[in-house]
Amino acid sequence: MSASITKCLFPVAGLGTRFLPATKEIAKEMLPLVDRPIIEYGVDEAVGSGCREMVMITGRSKKAIEDHFDRSFELEELLKSRNKESLYNEVVSRSTRADFIYLRQHRPLGLGHAVLCGEPVCRNEYFGVILPDDVMVAETPVLSQLIEVHKARGGCVLALEEVPEADTARYGIVVAESAGDGVFAIRDMVEKPGPERAPSRLAIMGRYILSPGIFPLLSAQGTGAGGEIQLTDGIRAIIGAEPVWGLLYRGRRFDCGTQVGWLDANISLAMEHPALREVVLEAVRRCGERNSI
């Protein structure tokens, strides 16, 4: 049985070009999703999965992320003086529930390179990775589902989702054998194949348990597709040296890396929020009436 996972790495140094112009100066991870920034959903998931150290790989224009998770004594004093106790408690607990560590990726050289930037903090143990754009809503946090597979079977674990044939070109697709209970032994993977080349419809989503053994492989591998250091190439290199499992996770995913996905997530999650459901329905009703005039 393997040890638990206490560190979670968040690569947040991407440029967010699919979300321009909104993301020219504001990190996409700081855009609000209903009542908090996108990044908070990932941190909630990691904390709910037992992680205590959040390792953020940041880049230019990501300073707001650091400020967001820092204590803000001015704000805390103000809330206290106005007797807003529950808001005060919430603001303080969100900054103190974990340790936040920031490492800088000086140039956006790809997801694999961003993970490699975490080596100084994560080099001695298995660690989680959350791509915060993929917002996961689940009864049991998805990272925690992956950690259970790691504890029982050891090795690396990747979150898998079955995607329609037409969508395989958007994801890393695995060659895998079922090991029961939604777990798959991964034999190989192909980056963004069209339906004619895709070995399956099992796509890798933004949650991973990775071995520290990936760091020397990422560092040796050089750039791949698009002149970037690809994470999939690093994981492929690990297959054979240690087990790599995939888990068909139980939960829902919202792709908040695009405007369309972000809008969908806002409406869907607001509909599930007791204080906001009626607001959405009323707004849609009004638009319907206006359009039928």
Please state the closest distance from residue 169 (CB atom) to ligand UTP, in A: 14
Binding region for ligand UTP (CB under 6 A):
11-19, 57, 105, 108-111, 113-114, 131-133, 257
Contact call for residues 202 and 185 (beta carbons, < 8 A): no
Closest approach, Cβ 221 to ligand UTP, in A, equals 15
Q: How far is the CB of 153 from ligand UTP (least distance, A)?
A: 26
Round to whole Å and give the CA distance between 192 and 254: 19
Residue 159, strand partner residues: 247
What phi and psi, each to the nearest 5 degrees, are found at residue 224?
A: -115, -135
Nearer to ligand UTP, 33 or 270 (CB): 33
Whether omega for the bond prior to residue 11 falls within 30 degrees of 0, making it cis, is: no
Q: Which of 16, 35, 17, 18 is nearest to 27 (CA)?
A: 16
- Picking from 222, 53, 180, 59, the residue whose alpha carbon sits closest to that of residue 129 is 53
Our CB check for ligand UTP shows the closer of 18 and 151 to be 18
- Alpha-carbon dihedral 39, 41, 42, 47, rounded to 10 degrees: 120
CB of 260 to ligand UTP, least distance (A): 12
CB of 230 to ligand UTP, least distance (A): 10
Q: Which CB sits closer to ligand UTP, 108 or 193?
A: 108
Contact 142, 45 (CB under 8 A): yes
The residue (of 79 and 210) whose beta carbon lies closer to ligand UTP is 210
Q: Which is nearer to ligand UTP, 114 or 210 (CB)?
A: 114
